[in-house]
Structure 1
Amino acid sequence: MKVGEAAPMGHRQVLESLSGLLLALFVAMISSTVVSTALPLIIGSLNGTQTQYTWVVTATLLTATATTPVWGKLADLFNKKSLVQVAIVIFVVGSVLSGFSQDTGQLIAARAFQGIGIGGLQALVQVVIASIIPPRERGRYNGYLGAVMAVATVGGPLLGGLIVDVPWLGWRWCFFVGVPIALVAFVVLQRTLKLQTVRRDDVRVDYLGAGLIAAGVSVLLIWVSFVGNSFAWLSWQTAAMAGGGVVVLGLAVLVESRVREPVVPLTIVVQRTPALAIVASLAVGMAMFGGAVFLGQYFQVGRGYTPTQAGLLTIPMMAGVLVSSTVSGRMISRSGMVKPYIVAGTIILVLGFLGLGMVDHDTALWLVGVDMAVVGVGVGMTMQNLVLAVQNSVPMRDLGAASASVTFFRSLGGTIGVSVLGAVLANRVTADLAAALRVPAGQTGTGDVSALNLTALPPEVQTVVHTVYGDATGHIFLISAAVAVVGVVAALLLKPITLRSTIDLDTPAADPVAR
């Protein structure tokens, strides 16, 4: 055991400490899922566009992604409990600002600020859990994480649907509802989580590297959102934005290779196990976030169901996550082997998205439900276990940065996936609506009314919008399946991993790849 780290805990102590952490993770996850089914109505009521719909999601993912490495590095330098509580405060402020937004621009900005807190919660909860539970035992507790994820992902859409369907509440409460839960998590953490404070006088946080990473990713995502619509693929705007983004990211790599305390430690991420886990996480994130974000829109805009009904229809996917994460977690703790479950999960994820790629505006709901359940099983078997594989391969002193690096690339994949798939969907929907309504290309034929504001459209136009959105959504799921194949390849290339039973590596010189 390293000096300054908490001693191993008993089962009861672990559960007490987990209570506040799981609440914090729950509020971070529900902040996205509670909005997912309500988002078509929110953007419609604010008269927003499909591109703005995508950016309400992308803004949160982007800031969460960009700040994740910083949170992870801070966790290696400062008190982890205090950092979790700071992230909760940022989340609360962002939630309140989102709830009071008056237009889509304000909503996107507020969601971006909220994403800073969400990034902290997602990264830090993993880090704290890893600092109190050995990898071999962690699979046992991954079931609790899976349960929280499932409740948030199942209950969130249902809660969001109910909120917007109840006249005296309204969509703003989709953002306000997480505030009291976050405050409860803050208090519970204060009372239950006992961690020793690690004090270092030589603290160096690479803010320049973090800023360059955020800037480079942001420029590329903005380019993806507008290319092919606002300007051509071969244009000076493409050269400036795509080229500029790549140059900035290149500078970020240069900075990270030279600073003493990099936010993304290259010495770790280039090792075989972390590198392959990161590639798999990137692919899984792109497929999972990119595909799942548009399911609520498919059921509402493509099929004409209410937000509450759309929430109920997403239950099969969340049930798959719950069952597979719980069962695979316990089996991993029993055997100590994690690679077989990661490989199986990535393959199942591809099959699920291939099934969803076949859906259109009149596909039988039971078939859509089966495909969603398969996707959920794949997500449950891969997401947490990829983090576990990396945590098993690094010493305690690098745990925060290593864990955050996997979370960073998974979130980055999700951000890219949502942005790219949203751009593909927006371009296809715009072209198909123009063709169906026989108006010039680039127009939707709905005048000044957003195509997502269905209640303000004539009945005959509503029917066209349902058909166009329902048919177009299947194509983005096929893209998700193709991306998920990269995750399969990365998982197959992983060396067999036996999880250790100690909090830290046995010796500093241990070979993390051979374990």
Structure 2
Amino acid sequence: MATTTRDDRTAAVTTPAPADATPGALAPAEQQGRMTHQQILSALSGMLLAMFVAFLSSTVVSNALPTIITELRGTQGQYTWVVTATLLASTASTPIWGKLADLYSKKLLIQVSIVVFVVGSMLAGLAQSVETLIAWRVLQGLGLGGIQALVQIAMAAMISPRERGRYSGLIGAVMAAATVGGPLVGGLLVDTSWLGWRWCFYVGVPFAVVALVLLQRTLHLPVTRRAVRIDYLGAAFLAAGVSALLIWVTLAGDTFAWASAETALFVGGGLLAVAAFVVTELRAAEPVVPLRLFRDRTTTLAVLASIAIGVAMFGSSVFLGQYLQISRGYSPTAAGLLTLPMVGGLLLSSTVSGILITRSGRWKGYLVAGSLLVVLGFALLGTVDHETDMVLLSAFLFVLGVGIGMTMQNLVLAVQNTVAARDLGAASSAVAFFRSLGGTIGVAVLGAVLDSRVGELVAQGLAGVPGAGGAGLADLAEAPPAVRALIAAAYGDATGRVFAVSAVVAAIAVVAVVLIREVALRTESGDERLRAESH
């Protein structure tokens, strides 16, 4: 079976070497560092702006969601799916965009993904119901997956592996700016009467248009092609299996009973699709997720830990904004400011741990400490209710942020340091892929936990009240003051359970990290390792 040994990110920029080429002459001219520093910065400008738009879109909506769902009279399940739909579409489409980069112009594909994202954003801003909003968020996610994958691929084509680290700080700065600025911008937009929540979807559009213009003027990459087989069937089975199981978790216990024909249909169909995905990947010439990578112990354990960290990253950000606004009564802007301790802890620990790891060459201690802090942070947050002191909450969030910062990127580092040079891209993308998948699953599962607990607490509070039926997020805007207070308290108390469940899930990351075998960091670049392995 003709299986390509290089990942999308490297294969997309390699051309067959001539017969008399030496092992060190594998990369084409554009990957030999012949662009000047000024040319690289110029070409990066459009790509970094596109990446800023992608990350901003993920964070700017978080503080606006309670207002959006309340205004559109949505349910807690729909609240979850507004987030999950984008994550799922992005996760499932990322490998496909990567394969397309081997066939067509990377520059054109980045521009196409930006256009798809812009169209999805504009239509989402025009949505008049939660159902249509979710549909357009799927389209937005398809574009988002392309931007995230293709920017990395274009950078690999443009910058040699030896030089790439020098520009990685720019990506970190963009991620930090979007992470910190997104919730604040979203809050300000929602709190500004003449703008409103719809501008949370429009705000990225001007940046995206500018990114398109910059890319057209500054990014010049040769179109290098190789024969590839895109595993559409594997991607379809993966998306179908995960979607079926997520829909079941979201709807079971509400729309239909846990023990019902619908449950059997969703669970059975989902498991069959996952099994078909595994069989397809074992037979595919170029699988979406190369299963051979999981023969390596470090990769397998890092993926397991990444799934748990994905739950931590996405789950905490999604439900934290809801807690602060619905239960505690803060404005979207104030809710954004109150999340800064977590973001600050994340940026501080990721920066400091990175410097210390570079100096010592040792990384496992930081991973173990970070994963333990994630568990501790969630355990502390598991104690919150609708009356928790905000200073305490800020301290809990800081602990969680420090833990996530010490684990998130260092898991990728551990894998990159262990696998063969030819598998660097595939293994790195596998960790990122499963972290995103973990976030998708986590948001859906934790949303179902929250919805169930809120329903229980509201039912208990309304027990004995003549003529009182059920009440939930959809009824918040028009409910009497006493019922609104009950719903707010229910959300505050139920959020503690969500974080407690997250602590249990995060404990899986601790076990996985402890079992990873530490290997001292290599001093050779990926290109040097590849030449050594080819002898």
Deviates more, 1:19-28 or 1:110-119: 19-28
Offset, 1:417: 0.3
Q: Which residue of 1 aligns with 2:512?
A: 490
- In structure 2, the CA distance between the partners of 1:52 and 1:41, relative to structure 1 (3 Å rule), is same
- In structure 2, the CA distance between the partners of 1:299 and 1:145, relative to structure 1 (3 Å rule), is same
Alpha-carbon distance in 1 for matches of 2:439, 2:247: 15
Q: Which residue of 2 aligns with 1:222?
A: 247
Contact 1:139 1:333 in 2 (8 A): no
Q: Which residue of 1 aligns with 2:4?
A: none
- In structure 2, the CA distance between the partners of 1:115 and 1:503, relative to structure 1 (3 Å rule), is same
Q: How many residues align?
A: 505
- In structure 2, the CA distance between the partners of 1:390 and 1:80, relative to structure 1 (3 Å rule), is farther
Query: Pairwise mapping of residues 292-371 of structure 1 onto structure 2 (< 5 A)?
Result: 292-371=317-396
Q: Which residue of 2 aligns with 1:209?
A: 234
1:402 equivalent in alignment to 2:427? yes
Alpha-carbon distance in 2 for matches of 1:92, 1:130: 25
Which of 240, 251, 259 pairs up with 2:276? 251
Which of 73, 78, 83 pairs up with 1:57? 83
Q: Which residue of 1 aligns with 2:93?
A: 67
- In structure 2, the CA distance between the partners of 1:494 and 1:130, relative to structure 1 (3 Å rule), is farther
Offset, 1:140: 6.2
1:3 equivalent in alignment to 2:46? no
What root-mean-square deviation, in Å, do the aligned CA atoms of Structure 1 and Structure 2 show? 2.6
Offset, 1:122: 2.5
The residue identity in structure 2 corresponding to 1:460 is A
Offset, 1:48: 0.7
Offset, 1:135: 7.2
State the secondary structure of the residue aligned to 1:231.
coil
Alpha-carbon distance in 2 for matches of 1:439, 1:52: 29
Contact 1:395 1:508 in 2 (8 A): no
Question: What 5-or-longer segments of structure 1 have no aligned partner?
Answer: none
Query: Pairwise mapping of residues 450-469 of structure 1 onto structure 2 (< 5 A)?
Result: 451-452=473-474, 454-469=476-491
Q: Which residue of 2 aligns with 1:390?
A: 415
Alpha-carbon distance in 2 for matches of 1:38, 1:380: 25
Q: Which has the larger radius of gyration?
A: 2
Q: Which residue of 2 aligns with 1:237?
A: 262
Deviates more, 1:93-102 or 1:78-87: 78-87
Which of 85, 89, 100 pairs up with 2:126? 100
Per-residue deviation, residues 422-471 of structure 1 (Å, max 9, x unmatched) = 0010111112112102279xx8644xxx6356442221112111211111
- In structure 2, the CA distance between the partners of 1:430 and 1:75, relative to structure 1 (3 Å rule), is same
Question: What 5-or-longer segments of structure 2 have no aligned partner?
Answer: 1-23
- In structure 2, the CA distance between the partners of 1:453 and 1:131, relative to structure 1 (3 Å rule), is farther
Alpha-carbon distance in 2 for matches of 1:187, 1:422: 39
Alpha-carbon distance in 2 for matches of 1:417, 1:329: 27
The residue identity in structure 1 corresponding to 2:525 is T
- In structure 2, the CA distance between the partners of 1:288 and 1:258, relative to structure 1 (3 Å rule), is same
Q: Which has the higher contact order (CA 8 A, sep 6+)?
A: 1
Q: Which residue of 1 aligns with 2:492?
A: 470
Seq. identity, %: 58
Offset, 1:120: 2.1
Alpha-carbon distance in 2 for matches of 1:402, 1:77: 22
Alpha-carbon distance in 2 for matches of 1:372, 1:125: 31
Deviates more, 1:68-77 or 1:318-327: 68-77
Alpha-carbon distance in 2 for matches of 1:33, 1:444: 35
Normalization by structure 2: what TM-score? 0.87
Query: Pairwise mapping of residues 117-266 of structure 1 onto structure 2 (< 5 A)?
Result: 117-129=143-155, 142-200=168-226, 202-266=227-291
State the secondary structure of the residue aligned to 2:473.
coil
Normalization by structure 1: what TM-score? 0.90
Alpha-carbon distance in 1 for matches of 2:517, 2:365: 10
Alpha-carbon distance in 2 for matches of 1:469, 1:487: 27
1:113 equivalent in alignment to 2:136? no
The residue identity in structure 2 corresponding to 1:188 is L
